A = this chain, B = another copy of it.
């Protein structure tokens, strides 16, 4: 991938960006970075102090996977200063500028429409989400290992949901030697679950059989581990909830019942920042090039007409 001469602004981030930025530099991009101290990895990038400076001349803007909080502060673990994304900043970007972010809050989506930016939310892009399911699943297994007094091998491990993370988790749990049960809704998923050698059950059957579970991994972003279900669980069960906040567990009830339940969002950046950074480095440059190319084309077309 060749980014020669393309001006990229990287706004905030964490260890993943320490992998991504050198890749961008290596591909020839001119990179301005805000939210990081001097570090050997960042040699070749230009470190600046403010979002304003970072955005000067930017043809593409890269923000972190977790994006911003609801006040617009960009996640930036290495920055002592807040990096607040404001409409004022955004509207200075030329139309069609590519803005890459993991997940965008609604205000950012609105601004993108208003100022005709090419906003790309990558966390939900299918191939990125699948690649990220690997560190997520491993992180979940690590958390389980740290919190149960038994081995995963030989345990009754349940996976709720057979989406991108559920598929990866089930395969890894079985690979370690767990008796793996997967809850899923649709018959096609249950057929695949059978093919892959897991025990498949529907959510309807879940509460009947969940008492045998030693570990439950939830990936469903809906209240599936509610009071009724928790009452059926063994008090020694450990729940690892991977669904995006607020998770799919009634944590209050879990607490009352003495059930250990751990909400674990955003695992890739925490447990395997280097792998997660490589995923970004594999995906972001393509999106930048494509974005710049499209902008150019539109520009040419509009000039021609």
Contact = CB atoms under 8 A, between A and B. Distances in A.
A116 B83 CA distance: 64
A176 B187 contact: no
A139, A152, A153, A271 pick with most chain B CB within 10 angstroms: A153
A175 interface: yes
Given A176-B175, A187-B127, A134 B195 contact: yes
A94 interface: no
Contacts of A273: 149
Q: How many chain copies?
A: 4
A176 B176 contact: yes
A190 interface: yes
A1 interface: no
A247 interface: no
A148 to B, nearest CB: 8
Nearest to A15: B149
A167 interface: yes
A interface, by DSSP: helix, strand, loop or mixed? helix
A187 B126 CA distance: 8
Contact of A194 (B131, B146, B149, B272): B131
Given A167-B195, A171-B196, 6 more contacts: A131-B194, A134-B195, A138-B151, A141-B145, A149-B273, A172-B176
Interface of A: 15, 126-128, 130-131, 133-135, 138-139, 141-142, 145-146, 148-154, 167-168, 171-172, 174-177, 186-188, 190-192, 194-197, 271-275
Question: Nearest 6 A-B pairs (CB), nearest first?
Answer: A175-B175, A127-B187, A130-B191, A126-B188, A149-B274, A127-B191
30 contacts: A126-B187, A126-B188, A126-B191, A127-B188, A127-B190, A127-B191, A128-B191, A130-B188, A130-B191, A130-B192, A131-B194, A134-B151, A134-B153, A138-B145, A141-B145, A142-B145, A142-B146, A145-B271, A148-B272, A149-B274, A150-B272, A154-B194, A154-B275, A171-B195, A172-B175, A172-B176, A174-B175, A175-B175, A175-B177, A177-B196
